[in-house]
Structure 1
């Protein structure tokens, strides 16, 4: 893949760089367990490629909005993502466009990451990495 093709693919996944940087700055300001949750979802979403860069940027911005509001309200992570984080993310992405295939390994990683992040709320966090 040429650099031009790679650049087009990357911008399709993350959207315009300025919007991506603004999104990342917002995520960085979240409390640690919410940030860990968003970053886990973000890793999972990298397998999902919306049909256009604006759709992708909007998807990440909406994810930040959701978790900023949850953190401000003190809503527990499990109330946001439910018992099945994969189901939550797949429902979330349906609002944007069709994406790519997500490997089972990525699904398991998302579930494990959310369990660790949600465990902080109850003091059961798994400190192993």
Structure 2
């Protein structure tokens, strides 16, 4: 990864953050909770994927349609997040494998 890649990545992230900040306050709160959840237990390919930008697209469509954020995702934010990553290998899966002693993982 060269310096140009790092600079380009920062520009993309700043543009993403600006899109989030343009959302209504209730959408921003829910987005930040989803982001926190995904960074903690989300898919291991989260930095490479387009999950967060797709989520902002989804929220922008909801705003344009005049819907409330909980009308889009439901009352259980964690369940919504789990549905987003249900077919992906997560950090939680890796941790569970490491403590269960599955062959091929590091032992303590």
| TM-score range relative to shorter protein | 0.5 to 0.7
Find the aligned partners of 1:31 and 1:64 in 2 and give their Cα distance.
Answer: 12
**Which structure has the larger Rg?**
2
The C-alpha deviation readout for 1:78-98, integer Å capped at 9, x for no partner, is 221213211111111236x32
Find the aligned partners of 2:83 and 2:71 in 1 and give their Cα distance.
Answer: 15
| Structure-1-length-normalised TM-score | 0.57
Find the aligned partners of 1:98 and 1:34 in 2 and give their Cα distance.
Answer: 27
Correspondent of 2:37 among 41, 44, 67: 44
The total of aligned residue pairs comes to 85
**C-alpha RMSD over aligned residues:** 2.2
Correspondent of 1:35 among 28, 32, 38: 28
Equivalent runs, 1:1-80 vs 2, <5 Å: 16-47=9-40, 48-51=42-45, 53-55=47-49, 58-80=50-72
Find the aligned partners of 1:101 and 1:94 in 2 and give their Cα distance.
Answer: 12
Report SS of the residue matched to 1:98: coil
Report SS of the residue matched to 1:26: helix
| Structure-2-length-normalised TM-score | 0.67
Find the aligned partners of 1:83 and 1:75 in 2 and give their Cα distance.
Answer: 14
Q: 1:84 to 1:52 in 2, by over 3 A?
A: closer
Find the aligned partners of 2:10 and 2:20 in 1 and give their Cα distance.
Answer: 15
Is structure 2 residue 89 aligned with structure 1 residue 91? no
* Unaligned stretches of 5+ residues in structure 1: 1-10, 103-129
Find the aligned partners of 1:52 and 1:39 in 2 and give their Cα distance.
Answer: 15
